[in-house]
Amino acid sequence: MNLTRRKFLQASFFVGFAITTKKGWANKIPTLAIERRDLFPQGVASGDPTANSVILWTRRPPVNDSAAKKLVVEISTTPEFKKILAGGTAHISADSDWTCRFLAGDLKPNREYWYRFVDEHGFASRIGRTITAPGVDSDTPVRFTFVCCQCPNEGALNAYRRMIFEDEARSREQQLNFVLHLGDFIYEVTWYAEDNPNGNRGRRIRNLYKFPQGRIYITFFH
């Protein structure tokens, strides 16, 4: 397929994907915004770090009477967001399940950055922290951990809270550089509390989420 850069960028706007830019954003005053975590129920995330880039992610679905079609992404070198280093805008829609994927580039190796998403109403996500990878020729040690096989209704994701708590208690030199996920992000089959009030495998089941179009099946394993 012969896909030009222009066509790629045009198509990207319809799937919630955008690319960062420094021109016109460097040293810009941050947007006046009110943090509304309820409007960004899945929070924020970053992934696929390289020495000079990282992908930022969020989801801003319609909540009650509040809907958004565009997000401004702001990147700063400090968590206080006194000045903006880079930024950009991304369009979101039902076609991308209201998600936004933002490629932040032209960053420096092995550096901390803070980011957030702001919709056109001035409502902001929580502030996220990300780290770029060391340079290709760097001999800096890389520390990471891995996770897998999540079932929120049974495990309540408390392992993540413990991992973050322990990491924040370490010195900067001993903190994690990234988390590797091995798969099975959220199982497509789950238990609900009313289906199994005695729990499963010794664990109490919580109704932290439900699949809106889910159907009950009885499966027998041999």
Per-residue tens of pLDDT for the chain, all 222 residues: 565 655 554 554 445 667 777 777 777 888 889 999 999 999 999 999 999 999 999 999 999 999 999 999 999 999 998 889 999 999 999 988 999 999 998 899 999 999 999 999 999 999 999 999 999 899 988 899 998 887 777 776 788 889 999 999 999 889 998 898 887 766 667 778 887 888 877 788 888 777 777 777 665 443
> How many Å apart are CA 161 and CA 99, to the nearest integer?
24
Residue pair 59/128 in contact by the 8 Å Cβ criterion: no
> Which pLDDT belongs to residue 221?
45
Q: State how far Cα 134 lies from the chain centre.
A: 21
> How many Å apart are CA 142 and CA 160, to the nearest integer?
20
pTM of the model: 0.77
> How many Å apart are CA 71 and CA 93, to the nearest integer?
11
> How many Å apart are CA 59 and CA 53, to the nearest integer?
20
> Which pLDDT belongs to residue 222?
38
> Which pLDDT belongs to residue 185?
62
Residue pair 128/115 in contact by the 8 Å Cβ criterion: yes
Residue pair 162/198 in contact by the 8 Å Cβ criterion: no
In one letter, which amino acid is 76?
Answer: S
> Which pLDDT belongs to residue 214?
73
Could you tell me which of 101, 103, 18, 121 has the C-alpha nearest to residue 59? 101
> Which pLDDT belongs to residue 54?
94
> Which pLDDT belongs to residue 13?
47
- Identify the DSSP state of 27: T
